[in-house]
């Protein structure tokens, strides 16, 4: 049990929770699995439909992967760079994401996609909704590894007031239900070096991209 003496689950909004330190002690295993995935499907800076390269380098694992190009944003079962299926989602990743979802009250989470984002110093993620999935009934489970980040979590509109949350190595943020389509983003990553993940922040987000059969 990760939290034998205390409950580190923090309510952020309706159906949105921060699990402080949920992944602590798992860093070496996660890094080994992550390195294996990246060796098969290398990180890349995808282009937005308007032609801008994203500041975040990314790849995927699982049955489906999120891609962006001049055609738009979507999920694909094939890595456009390798023309091969995305690497299999490591069993460790899947189980940890299911455990985190359950701890946040979402039972039955069945992720079929894991988006892997690598933030270098200065990289950011603009305010957006996760709405390319076919199934909004299941939550988003987001792992934070390496350098810390300021995560802005808003509401159902871009203008809604936002909460600023510091995400540190080992934290997991879970949101779904009434907050599933809330806007969110990551501010510019500040300089630093993490003992396991170096000068980067890695963010792994688990989703159910396709409707359950």
H or E element in which residue 27 lies: helix 27-40
Annotated binding site: 66, 73-75, 117-119, 128, 130, 132, 158, 184, 201-207
Known binding-site residues for Fe cation equal: 128, 130, 184
Q: Which residue has the tokens 């808003």?
A: 154
Q: Which residues sit in the known binding site for 2-oxoglutarate?
A: 117-119, 201-207
Rounded CA gap, 139 and 176, in Å?
Answer: 4
Q: Do residues 95 and 33 lie in contact, with contact meaning Cβ atoms separated by under 8 Å?
A: no
Angle of CA points 111, 114, 117, to nearest 5°: 155
Residues making up the binding site for substrate: 66, 73-75, 132, 158
Nearest to 206, CA basis, from 60, 29, 69? 60
d(CA 30, CA 12): 26
Retrieve residue 183's tokens.
């806007």
């Amino acid at each position: 049990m990760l939290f034998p003496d205390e409950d580190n689950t923090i309510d952020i909004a309706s159906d949105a929770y921060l699990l402080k330190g949920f992944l602590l002690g798992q860093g070496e295993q996660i890094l080994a699995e992550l390195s294996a995935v990246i060796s098969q499907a290398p990180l890349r800076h995808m282009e937005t439909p308007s032609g801008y390269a994203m500041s975040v380098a990314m790849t995927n694992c699982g049955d489906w992967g999120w891609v962006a190009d001049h055609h738009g944003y979507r999920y694909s079962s094939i890595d456009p760079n390798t023309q091969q299926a995305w690497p299999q989602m490591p069993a460790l990743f899947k189980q940890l994401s299911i455990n985190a979802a359950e701890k946040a009250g979402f039972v039955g989470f069945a992720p079929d996609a894991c988006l892997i984002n690598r933030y270098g110093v200065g990289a950011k993620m603009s305010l957006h909704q996760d709405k390319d999935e076919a199934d909004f009934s299941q939550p988003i489970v987001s792992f934070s590894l390496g350098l810390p980040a300021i995560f802005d979590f808003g509401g159902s509109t871009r203008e809604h007031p936002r909460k600023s949350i510091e995400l540190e190595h080992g934290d997991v943020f879970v949101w779904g239900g009434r907050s599933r389509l809330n806007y969110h983003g990551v501010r510019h990553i500040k300089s630093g070096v993490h003992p396991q993940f170096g000068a980067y922040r890695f963010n792994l987000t688990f989703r159910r991209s396709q409707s359950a059969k």
